[in-house]
Every structure is written in C-alpha cells, then in structure tokens.
Amino acid sequence: MSAPPILSVRGLRTTFATRHGMVTAVDGVDLEVLPGECLGVVGESGCGKSVTFASVMGLVKPPGRIAGGSIRFLDQELTTLDEARFRALRGRDMAMTMQDALTALNPAYTVADQIMEVVLEHDASLDGSARQRRAQARARALEMMDLVGIPSAAKRLDDYPHQFSGGMRQRIMIAIALACRPRLLIADEPTTALDVTIQAQVLDLISTLRTELGMSVVLITHDLAVVAEHCDRVVVMYAGQVVETAPTRALIDAPEHPYTRGLLASIPRLSALDAPLDPIDGRVPDLVDLPPGCRFRERCTVAEARCTSEVPMVPLAGERAVRCVLAEGGR
C-alpha cells in the first residue's frame, strides 16, 4: 500500500480582482505530492503554476484570494489557517524558493542574517541566552552554505547578496529554504536567468539534497527537458487548469494532450540541430474572457466541434489523466 500524499490539492480556485474583471488564475486544480518524490509542474508563463503554489504557501493576498477548494498538507487543511499558524508552518515544514534570487534576497542584510532569521524563528532546538541562540543559528547558516556548495563559506557568511553570482545567489535561496529541513520544497523556476552550466549544477544540487534529506520537491518550470531528467511525475497546466498528469517517462514517450505534444515538439533536438523549431501557434487566452469548452482549442490542430463543450479530466491507465475529448474515443 502506497504512503498517503504529503500534499493534496483538490478543486483549488484562486482569483484576482482586476480593473478588467475577475481573473481566475487557478481553476479547479487537482494534484498531489507523494513523500520523497519530485513532481514537475510545467506550462507556459501565465498558466497558473506559480499562483497554485503561492496559494499552497499562503502567499496570495488581496486583491487575490482562494475562492474554493482544499489544500491539505501533512493532513492539515491549509485554507482555514490563520496567518500566525501559517507563519509557523512556512520555513519549518514547507519552503519555497522564488524565481529571481536577486530580488527575493534582501540587499540590506548579509546572507548569514537571512539564513539565521529562519532558524531563529522556527528551530525549537536552539537554547540558552539570546546570544547563544544567535551563535547556534550562525553555525547552522554556515552548515547550510557548506551543504549547498558555497566555496569558502566561512569567509562569505557576512557578504551581501550583490557580492554573489547568479548561481551562488540561487544556492543561498536554497540554503534559506532548507535551513529547518522542511518536508516539502517548492522550487519556482530555480534556474531563471542562469547559464546552462549553472542550471545543471543547481538542479543536480536540488536532486542530491532531496535524496540526502528525504524531502519531497515540487519543481515549477516551463522546460520539459528539465522535468524529464529530474522529476518522477509531471503535471501540465494551461490557462489555469491541469490538462495532463502522468509519470514522467510515460508522458515523454506518449503525451496524450495536444498541448503537451506541442510543448515536446518545440524542444530543440541534438539529433537535428538545423531543423526549425515547431512552436505552438496562437496565444494563451485572456483569463478574463475565456473561450467556452477546451481552453486550448483555438490553438489546437486537432480540435473538433465537441471541444466547445466543457471538458473534464479523463482517467487513463497507468496513473494518468488528461483533459481532452480525444482521450475518450482515441485520435
């Protein structure tokens, strides 16, 4: 019997009031994260990936709000938590690294201070006077900087974020997130604006720490190549909805949704470097004025008349599901 999920999201709806109308950025999202696994969440910019997990972390504030659904983490319902209880949870049991480490880190504080803040707030094992607790927290900060591979960590504790390269700043973000050994790490586009060599180092670091610490990881990205290498399962999102979910190998080998097939077709191939890319035509629909039925149909090359009706997720064999009418009767 498999272990219950560490995170279970059911029917999540997150909305934002705008001058143009109400935007449902996340619309009926269902997903789960199992203990120790890495879940990849992929899709174009604006598809709802980051907002889904900002909702999980309790970071959606007015004019945004969670309008419906359930978020259960370690069997605790998060949608009913007050801010004080959420603050106790964030950083201790679940943590999130943001897309841009330079803007996420505070330029006015040293990296040691920023790691120590999490430890002092959440680590109940610290004891003694305030000075002793700070010394213990500083030792933890050094330990975390060593863990994420910061060279000469002891000499760099009192450096500021701008004194680090982009890759090193991303490692500092990971050190902050892991300072209290969370059960769940949410990595939101952890390789944004990094060159390919540093991208590989950061992703390999996350995979190594996942194994060493036994934590679950959610990897939010637009890059299916990254997902193929690092994730156990994949959730594909489009226009605020989950359109396909499957084990990674099964999805890469045989994608069911036309959008997933389009994402895979747009990846450059080493075997055909001179071949033109095959991008998905059209644009993501306006979330204020969504088309009826399948949200991808106006960009889909195999759309049919029945695609104008509401399309539910269809369970398939092998722990798969897809939001496409073609999944019922075949292509």
Percent of the chain with pLDDT over 90: 70
> How far is 59 from 32, CA to CA, in rounded Å?
19
Tell me if 176 is assigned to some domain.
Answer: no
**At residue 176, does pLDDT exceed 50?**
yes
In a domain, 139, yes or no: no
CA contacts within 13 A on the Cβ side of 219: 31
Q: Above 70 in pLDDT, residue 226?
A: yes
Strand 7-18 and strand 21-33: pairing?
A: antiparallel
CA atoms within 13 A on the CB side of 93: 16
Q: Which domain holds residue 199?
A: 7-93+182-329
- Predicted confidence (pLDDT) at residue 2 exceeds the cutoff of 80: no
Cα–Cα separations (whole angstroms), residue 318 to 233, 247, 278, 321: 12, 8, 29, 9
Residues in the chain: 331
| pLDDT on residue 328 | 56
- Measure the CA–CA gap between 68 and 82, rounded to whole angstroms: 16
pLDDT of amino acid 331:
46
Residue whose C-alpha is closest to residue 258's, from 231, 219, 297, 221: 297
Query: Which amino acid would we find at residue 163?
Result: Q
Residue 276 has pLDDT above 90, yes or no: no
pLDDT of residue 112: 97
Q: Is the pLDDT at 317 greater than 80, yes or no?
A: yes
What number of CA atoms fall less than 13 Å from residue 86's CA on the CB side?
Answer: 16
Beta strands in 155-259 (DSSP E): 184-188, 216-221, 233-238, 241-247
Q: Is the pLDDT of residue 209 over 90?
A: no
Q: What is the DSSP string of 221-244?
A: ES-HHHHHHH-SEEEEEETTEEEE
Predicted confidence at residue 163, as pLDDT, reads 95
> Is residue 65 one of the residues assigned to a domain?
yes
Residue 283 placed within a domain = yes
Mutual angle of helices 111-122 and 130-147, in 10-degree steps? 120
User: Quick one: pLDDT band at residue 154, thresholds 50, 70, 90?
Assistant: very high
Residue 293: is its pLDDT beyond 80? yes
More confident residue, 329 or 129: 129
User: Is a pLDDT exceeding 70 seen at residue 1?
Assistant: no
Q: Do 179 and 213 meet the contact criterion of CB atoms below 8 Å apart?
A: no
pLDDT band at 175 (very low <50, low <70, confident <90, very high): very high
Mean pLDDT of 261-270: 85
Identify the pLDDT of residue 299: 93
| pLDDT > 60? residue 263 | yes
**What domain count does the chain have?**
1
Of all residues in the chain, the percent with pLDDT exceeding 70 is 98
Q: Is residue 48 part of a domain?
A: yes
Q: What pLDDT was estimated at residue 308? A: 93
pLDDT in tens, 23-64: 999 999 999 999 999 999 999 988 999 999 999 999 999 999
Residue 319 domain flag: yes
pLDDT given at position 221: 92
CATH classification of the domain holding 285: 3.40.50.300
Gap between the Cα atoms of 100 and 106, Å rounded: 12
- 314: tokens are 């269809």
Identify whether 49 is part of a domain: yes
Quote the pTM value: 0.91
What are 120-129's pLDDT values in tens digits? 999 989 999 9
**Residue 130 host element (H or E):** helix 130-147
| Residue-averaged pLDDT of the chain | 91
Q: What is the pLDDT of residues 73-130, one digit of tens each?
A: 998 999 999 999 999 999 999 999 988 888 889 999 999 999 999 999 999 899 999 9
> Is residue 136 assigned to a domain?
no
What is the average pLDDT across 177-192?
90
